[in-house]
Amino acid sequence: MLRGVITAIVTPMNQDGAIDFDSLTNLIKFQIKNGIEGLVVAGSTGEGSLLDPDEKIAVVSHIIKINQGHAKIIMAFNDIATSFAVEFTKKLNAIPGIDFYLVTTPAYVRPTQEGMYQHFKTIALTSTRPIILYNIPGRTVCDLDNQTVLRLAKDHANIVGIKDATGNLTRASGLFEGRGPNFAVYSGDDKTSAEFVLNGGDGVISVASNLFPDKFKELISNALSGNKLLVTELNDKFLGLYKALSLESNPVALKWALSVNGITRHEMVRLPLLPLSVSSQEQMKLVLMDLK
C-alpha cells in the first residue's frame, strides 16, 4: 500500500501555452530529491481537463523517463463518457512505468450512484493497473457515496484506494471503518490532511507539496506516526499557504509561486484560467516570505 505524501504536480507551460518540458524536469527532480512517495500526473492541479490525450501521454512519458522509478507514478484522467475513459485506459495500459490510475467521478452529467458504480466497474475491467478513485464534488458536482466506494472495493480487487477531496472528516471516518486492509484512503484537501491522517488516513495527494515537499513530508510523516503535538505545530505554519493557494482557482496561485521560487520558469495557465491577479500576488508574496 502506498502511504505518505503524493504530489499532484502542475503541468508547466511556456508563454505560448505549450508544455514546458524543461521546467517539468526540474519540478520532478525537486520532488524526487525531497523523497516524495508519489506523483499524480494530469490531475486537477495538472490542468488535466485542459490537456488533450496526446499531451497527457507526452507528459507522463517524460515524467517516467526523469523519475527512473524513484516515486510511484499515478496517471489521472477525468473523462465524462465511460467509453472515452475505456479507450484512454487502453492507451495507458500500453505505457510501461505507470503504477496507478487516478480516476475522477464523471463531471456535469450527474449520474446516479449505480451509474458511477458501472462507470468505475467498466474501467476496472479494462485496466491492467490498480485504480484509485477520486471524489471531488466541489469540482464535478458529482458525489461518490461511501457505500458505493466500499462496494467497488469489495467487487474489484484492482480498485485499491480513494482520494477524498471533500474535506469532511466525519465522512472519512466511515471509509476508515468500512474499508478492507488493502484499501487506502488519501486526503485530497491539504488544510484538513494532517487531521485526516491522524484519524486513520494513509496520506495526502497534495497541492502544497509542489512548493515545499520536504516540509509537507515532515508534517504527514509525523501524522502517520501519531505525533499530534508536533503535527499541530507544523500544520499551523501552513495555514497561510492553504488560504493563499485557494485565492484563485487551483493551480493559478500555485503556478505563480512555483515560478517566483524558481522551480518553474513561467506561471502560464490555459484559458479559461488566467494568471494570478496583482492583489493575490501581494498576498502570496507575504506567505512565501514567512515560509522561507
Is 61 a domain residue? yes
Q: What is the pTM of this model?
A: 0.96
| CB count in 10 Å sphere of residue 124 | 20
Range of the domain at 181: 4-228
Over range 93-114, report the average pLDDT.
97
Angle, in degrees to the nearest 10, between helices 169-178 and 146-155: 30
CB 188 within 8 A of CB 136: yes
Is 290 a domain residue? no
- Return the C-alpha cell found at 61: 512519458
**pLDDT of 1 over the 90 cut:** no
- Return the C-alpha cell found at 7: 504530489
* DSSP three-state, residue 212: coil
Residue 248 confidence (pLDDT): 96
Angle, in degrees to the nearest 10, between helices 190-198 and 213-224: 30
Is 256 a domain residue? no
Which residue type, as a one-letter code, is found at position 165? Answer: A
The catalytic residue among 56, 101, 163, 217 is 163
Is 14 a domain residue? yes
> pLDDT per residue over 148-181, tens digit each?
999 999 999 999 999 999 999 999 999 999 999 9
Is 275 a domain residue? no
Clarify whether 65 is annotated catalytic: no
Is 249 a domain residue? no
Is 143 a domain residue? yes
Residue 291 confidence (pLDDT): 87
Over range 262-272, report the average pLDDT.
97
The catalytic residue among 134, 186, 217, 255 is 134
**pLDDT of 292 over the 80 cut:** no
Identify which of 154, 146, 263, 170 has the alpha carbon closest to the alpha carbon of residue 213: 263
> pLDDT per residue over 117-156, tens digit each?
999 999 999 999 999 999 999 999 999 999 999 999 999 9
Is 245 a domain residue? no
Domain count of the fold of the chain: 1
Torsion of CA 184, 187, 188, 191, to 10 degrees: -170
Res. 20 pLDDT band, cuts 50 70 90: very high
> pLDDT per residue over 225-266, tens digit each?
999 999 999 999 999 999 999 999 999 999 999 999 999 999
Clarify whether 134 is annotated catalytic: yes
C-alpha dihedral sign at 192, 197, 204, 288: positive
CATH of the domain at 114: 3.20.20.70
Torsion of CA 227, 233, 234, 240, to 10 degrees: 150
> pLDDT per residue over 189-220, tens digit each?
999 999 999 999 999 999 999 999 999 999 99
